[in-house]
Amino acid sequence: MSIPKKGSRLITVDDIAYRWRIRRKPTYCQANSWGPLIFAVEPANGPGRILLVSLPCSRPDAWYGERAMAVRPALVSATIRRALDHGWDPHRTGNALTLRLTEDDLTDAMNGQPPSYVVPFMRR
Higher pLDDT among residues 69 and 97, named by residue: 97
Q: What is the DSSP letter of 68?
A: B
Total residues belonging to the chain: 124
CA dist., res. 45 & res. 66, Å (int): 36
pLDDT tens, residue by residue, 72-83: 999 999 999 999
pLDDT reading at 92 higher than 50: yes
Beta bridge partners of 122: none
Q: Which CA distances in Å does 40 have to 19, 22, 71, 93, 109? A: 8, 6, 12, 15, 17
Vertex 9 angle, CA 7 and 15, to 5°: 160
Percent of the chain with pLDDT over 70: 94
pLDDT reading at 124 higher than 50: no
What is the β-pairing status of strands 16-22 and 51-54? unpaired
pLDDT tens, residue by residue, 10-53: 999 999 999 999 999 988 988 888 889 999 999 998 788 999 99
